[in-house]
Amino acid sequence: MKTIRRNHTLSENHLSEIIARDDFDIPNLALLPMKKALHPETEYFVSLNHTEEHNPFLLQNLVIESIRMMEGADGFMTDQIFTNDHHHINHRFLDEISIQTGKRHLIIGPSFSRVPTFLQSRLLDELVDADVSGIMFDVRGIDIDDFAALQPLAKLKIHAKKRIAIIPVVRDEHQREALVDTIPFDIVCIAG
């Protein structure tokens, strides 16, 4: 099982990291090249979320320019493709992000868990068609022993099969172990 850790410090290093602030917002742009220079063997994913920008045109330009500035990233994570309170995907914007990321990974962030349950399978299929590598699903606030609360995640994993990675976001090692004992996953993100 692969573990990706959310990190926003230069002093810590893990084998696989999502460089992002606590709220999964975009990191300090100097962090990626410095971390890459210190630890070139680490796999780095970078958050593209600019949650403070509310103008859609400016937001899309910020995201595209952020991708261009981070050439050393192995992949990117974003939540900002959703529209209409997580009921739809902005396909034009997603296509542009996909073009800019090229062969690097593109992961949809943990806000996917806010997509209404009845729409999750359909939106997952749309993301597979757009060549998205993975979908994060936030379970930090869920009691892992509550099987009813985990049911949407389990259904999503079954529907995804091997077409796309489902990446649960957990608080810590203990929650990761409890989750993986209940539902096996290939990749888990520890985000604190």
pLDDT tens-digit profile of 61-109?
A: 999 999 999 989 999 999 999 999 999 999 999 999 999 999 999 999 9
Give the rounded percent of residues in the chain with a pLDDT score beyond 90.
98
- Whose tokens are 């509550």? That residue is 146
CATH code where residue 81 lies: 3.20.20.380
DSSP secondary structure letter of residue 90: -
- Whose tokens are 């859609």? That residue is 56
Query: Which residues, in sequence order, are CB contacts of 48 under 8 Å at separation 6+?
Result: 26, 63, 66, 67, 76, 77, 78, 80, 97
| Enclosing domain of residue 146 | 2-190
- 8 A C-beta contact, residue 105 and residue 74: yes
C-alpha 168/C-alpha 166 separation (Å) is: 6
- Helices in the chain by DSSP H: which ranges? 31-38, 56-69, 91-101, 117-129, 147-160, 173-182
**φ, ψ dihedrals at 99, nearest 5°:** -65, -45
pTM of the model: 0.94
Per-residue model confidence (pLDDT) at position 173:
96
| Domain total in the chain | 1
